[in-house]
Structure 1
Amino acid sequence: MNLIKKQIVLKELKGGEKLQSVREMSTSLRVNPNTIQRVYKELEREGLAYTQRGTGTFITEDDSILYNLRGDMAKDVIEKFIDGMRHLGFTNKEIVDVVSSKLNKGE
């Protein structure tokens, strides 16, 4: 699911674009088709995809949902980073200093 979300955010998959069939996706990722079916259902539940019976599963064309996905994914990355830094004993100021230093160096 995260792979598909990342492809959407990177615009490798665009609104209205058809996803691979469950069988094709399961073959290319070497996972059980039931896993892919669950992923597609979860994407639908989140409003990121819809299924047209007999045609396939497609990425939503709702730009606001696609835009919000990027922000939600960024928030998750930041939260994991901050939690990791706190577990290492960094204070908020130290975390900001580390990030600022890296951004200023262009790394």
Structure 2
Amino acid sequence: MNVSIEVKEKDNTFFVKLTGEIDVYTAPKLKEKLMEAAKGEGVKINIDLSGVNYMDSTGLGVFVGVFKQLRANNGNMKLTGMTERLQRLFDITGLADVMDINTEVEGGV
């Protein structure tokens, strides 16, 4: 499977819509796109995960890396549209306690 990454930018906020699977094969492509956006000062990234049907630990690692990069640059990341399965993954790992997660999809792409 593959991952589709749609990115739109408006006023230092990136709206990202992901569709497909995030795993060891697709994570490098996702990481490259997100880290490029996360480089700026005060950047906000809103990621719509409603189209993601599978994610493994490699995908979690991408989000942790982007989260750290954004925090270092006074930025913010919000994950939206998370399925129950993905929400459970973030809950189990404790990431739901530190990341801004909303099950509803918000504006954007």
Note whether the superposition's TM-score is higher than 0.5.
no
Bigger relative contact order, structure 1 or 2, given CA contacts below 8 A and separation 6+? 2
Structure with the largest fraction of helix:
1
* Bigger CA radius of gyration: 1
User: Normalization by structure 2: what TM-score?
Assistant: 0.28
Higher strand share: 2
TM-score, normalised to structure 1, is 0.29
